[in-house]
Amino acid sequence: MNYWLVVGKPQNWEVAFKSGNIWGLKERQRPLWERLNEGDVLLFYATQPVGGIIGYGVLRTKFKQNRPLWPQELHEHKLIWPLRFEFDVESCLPPNKWASTKLVSKLLWPRAGFQPISQQVAKKLLSSLRSAKYTTEAIELPQISETTPELVSTLGKTKESLPSHDKLKEILVEIGRLQKFIADPEYSFDIGRLDVVWRRVELSVPTYVFEVQVGGDVYHALAKLKHAFDLWNSHIYLVAPQADLDKADNLLSGTFHEISTQIKLIELDKVEELYERKRAYLDLERELGI
């Protein structure tokens, strides 16, 4: 596996995401393009006025294309970046947060438009991106922490022990990414933060919205889900233990009756079961080479 820093103008990143997650290199960069392999990790770097990493993804496939795509190509009526590749977005900031919440570090020297980076540097940057602790200061970043072993540990617990609010959010994010969505925890909108959202492409609004309650305020969770539905027509889900789902049922027959036919209520252990089954299914696909 290789690690790459993909450097481009903010407007070019917007086009890339709108066009199905496509990037391109110039003909003189062919030696780099030929080194690209499926599964390589890509860190998305937007140049000024952003000036930092806005997300990361994994390379899916590479191809050559003779159709102009980016603003400069369209303006000049010619191909500039014909050596292209498609990628899956693992995580990315919403465009309105690129400038304020991008990741910067002294570990990076983004002078070229596309460049390999060392595994050590890449893992430090990915650790910071995965922890969602973006910084506008050039500081030393924390060591990498793997997600999957923690999830496996959580899924192996007895049913008597309820998973934590944060752990359930983490599992929902992982499920979203397994399904090739851009999955984000703590998604800000005008009345607060949503626990987890899944988006189809970077510039889209949330397609799926989840609120997780483990002994929390069910009324407030339903209010946020209703607002998400009103704003974006999102698919909305409340994840909670059965006692809280019973409270939600009562509220949905009264105060929140407008979303009673739209919302899905999910018991806590169903989230863990869904993750286990999806993970096992994907592992079987990889084993079979499908």
Asked if residue 57 has pLDDT above 90, the reply is yes
The β-bridge relationship of strands 41-46 and 22-25 is unpaired
Q: What does the pLDDT read at residue 226? A: 96
CATH class of 150-274: alpha beta
Asked if residue 149 has pLDDT above 50, the reply is no
Q: Indicate where the chain has its CATH 3.40.1350 domain(s).
A: 150-274
Q: What does the pLDDT read at residue 204? A: 77
CATH topology of domain 3-130: ph1033 like fold (3.10.590)
Q: What are the tens digits of pLDDT across the range 194-252?
A: 999 999 877 778 999 999 998 778 999 999 999 999 999 999 999 999 999 999 999 99
What's the rounded mean pLDDT across residues 101-105? 90
Choose between 108 and 196: higher pLDDT: 196
User: End-to-end distance of the chain based on CA atoms, in angstroms?
Assistant: 20
Asked if residue 157 has pLDDT above 60, the reply is no
Q: What are the tens digits of pLDDT across the range 245-265?
A: 999 999 999 999 999 999 999
Q: What does the pLDDT read at residue 19? A: 84
Global pTM? 0.56
Asked if residue 104 has pLDDT above 80, the reply is yes
Q: Indicate where the chain has its CATH 3.10.590.10 domain(s).
A: 3-130
Long-range contacts formed by 274-279: CB under 8 A, 24+ apart:
274/175, 275/151, 275/155, 275/171, 275/174, 275/175, 276/155, 278/175, 278/178, 278/179, 279/178
d(CA 271, CA 194): 17
Task: Please provide the average confidence, as pLDDT, over all residues in the chain.
Answer: 85
